[in-house]
Amino acid sequence: MLEALLLEWFRGAGRDLPWRRTRDPYAILVSEVMLQQTQVERVVPRYLAWLERWPTVEKLAAAPVSDVIRAWQGLGYNRRAVNLHRATQQIAAAGWPDDLTELPGVGRYTADAVAHFAFDSAVLPVDTNVRRVQERTRTRFTPAAAHALMDLGATVCLARVPRCASCPLATGCPSQGERYEPLRRQSRFEGSFRQRRARALRLVAERPREMPSMDGDAIAALARDGLVRVEGDLVSLP
C-alpha cells in the first residue's frame, strides 16, 4: 500500500536528473561516485562536463590521472577521482566484474546502485535517505521504489525535521509528527586539515611546486592517497 502511494507521488514529484536517463553502467558509476558526500546541485553540471570529456570507460581509463585530478577540483574528497580512474582501468582491461565491490572505491551501496540502475538487478540500493524512509515507515520497499525512496528522503522525509504535512506516506507512517535530534555535523572545513590538503592540491594542480614552499603534512597525506608525486624537492601530479 505505502509503495503504491510512493510511486504515485514520484510520478509527479520525482527529480529529473541526467543520470536517470541512461542505463550506461559507466555513466551511472560516475554519478554515484560524484554524489558521495557532494550535493546533487553541485554534481549535475560537473557530471555533464565529465561525460562530454570522457564519454566511455575506455576514454577515462586512457586519460592521464593528472588530468582526472584537475577535472575533479571543486568536488571535494579528491581520492574519489583516483579511485574512479583506477576502476575504469580495471574495467577496460577485464570487463565489469560480477562483484562490483571489487572495483576501487566501490562499496556496497555504490555496487548495488550500479547493479540496479544499469544492469536491472533486483536489489534495492540503500543509502542514507532510503534507510531513513524504511526505518520511519517500518516498511520494506521493493527495488522498483529506489528512485522514489531517494527523492522522498532527500526532499520530504528529512533527517531532523521531516515535512510530514506534504508526505504521501503520512497517513500510514507510524513516525508521523516526530522530531529528531540534530545530526552530528561534519567538522568545519575552514581551518581544517581537509582545507590544507585541498589548498596544497590546488597549488600542485596549477604547476609543479618546490617542496620547501609547501605544507609538508598535507603533501605527505596527498602522496599516500596517490594524488601527488614527490620526487626529491619537486611535488607534481602523478
Residues recognised as catalytic: 32
The whole-angstrom separation of Cα 238 and Cα 222 is 11
Output the CA torsion sign for 107, 113, 118, 122: positive
The number of angstroms, rounded, from the C-alpha of 113 to the middle of its chain's C-alpha atoms is 11
The whole-angstrom separation of Cα 1 and Cα 178 is 22
Nearest C-alpha neighbor of 132 from the set 152, 116, 112, 115: 152
The whole-angstrom separation of Cα 170 and Cα 177 is 9
Q: Which backbone phi and psi does 90 adopt, to 5 degrees?
A: -65, -40
The whole-angstrom separation of Cα 227 and Cα 200 is 11
The whole-angstrom separation of Cα 50 and Cα 81 is 11
The whole-angstrom separation of Cα 229 and Cα 223 is 6
Nearest C-alpha neighbor of 222 from the set 205, 210, 233: 205
Say if CB 75 and CB 42 are below 8 A apart.
yes
